[in-house]
């Protein structure tokens, strides 16, 4: 039964449908040194339905403290980061291979192809949320 669950997870969370979520974040993010590390937070945040309503109205005045103090959001966050770690690695590699992004020597990500990629329409809210997340990653917080 465990293999069945793992296979369903793999089918549902494949790199072809999740890569656009990561790219939508970096399209709106002002590049900084080592910002590739932020990719590991994108999927756990954008794909968490419990906090989607909480953070969909993110503004420039919002910051990460708003999320960190939310117990519903933080419950299991470390597990979600670990769960999506390999998928995030695969999504980044796929995006690099397809020339959607470039990673320079300072480990900063630059989107090279801003065309909308094919995605599952059920992920529209996650893509929209990921495109708003850069507003929360301000210089004074990171």
Contact 64, 141 (CB under 8 A): yes
Which residues lie below 8 Å from residue 126, measured CB to CB, with a gap of 6+? 21, 46, 47, 52
Structure confidence at residue 19 (pLDDT): 92
Structure confidence at residue 74 (pLDDT): 73
- Please list the residues that pair with 103 across neighbouring strands: 109
> Tens-digit pLDDT profile for the chain (142 aa)?
677 666 566 666 788 889 999 999 999 888 888 889 999 989 998 888 776 666 666 665 656 666 667 677 677 788 889 999 999 999 999 999 999 999 999 999 999 987 766 667 778 888 888 888 887 776 554 4
- Please list the residues that pair with 102 across neighbouring strands: 110
Which residues lie below 8 Å from residue 19, measured CB to CB, with a gap of 6+? 91, 94, 95, 100, 117
Give the three-state DSSP class for 134: helix
pTM: 0.82
Contact 66, 83 (CB under 8 A): no
- Please list the residues that pair with 110 across neighbouring strands: 102
Structure confidence at residue 138 (pLDDT): 63
């Amino acid at each position: 039964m465990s293999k069945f669950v793992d296979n369903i997870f793999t089918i549902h969370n494949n790199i072809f449908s999740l890569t656009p979520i990561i790219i939508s974040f970096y399209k709106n993010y002002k590049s900084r040194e080592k910002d590739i590390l932020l990719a590991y937070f994108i999927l756990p945040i954008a794909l968490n339905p419990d906090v989607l309503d909480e953070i969909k109205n993110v503004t420039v005045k919002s910051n990460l403290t708003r999320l960190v103090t939310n117990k519903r959001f933080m419950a299991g966050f470390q597990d979600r980061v670990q769960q999506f770690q390999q998928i995030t690695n695969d999504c980044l590699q796929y995006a690099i291979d397809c020339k959607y992004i470039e990673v320079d020597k300072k480990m900063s990500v630059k989107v090279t192809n801003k065309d909308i990629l094919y995605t599952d329409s059920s992920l529209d809210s996650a893509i929209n949320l990921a495109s708003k997340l850069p507003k929360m990653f301000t210089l004074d917080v990171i």
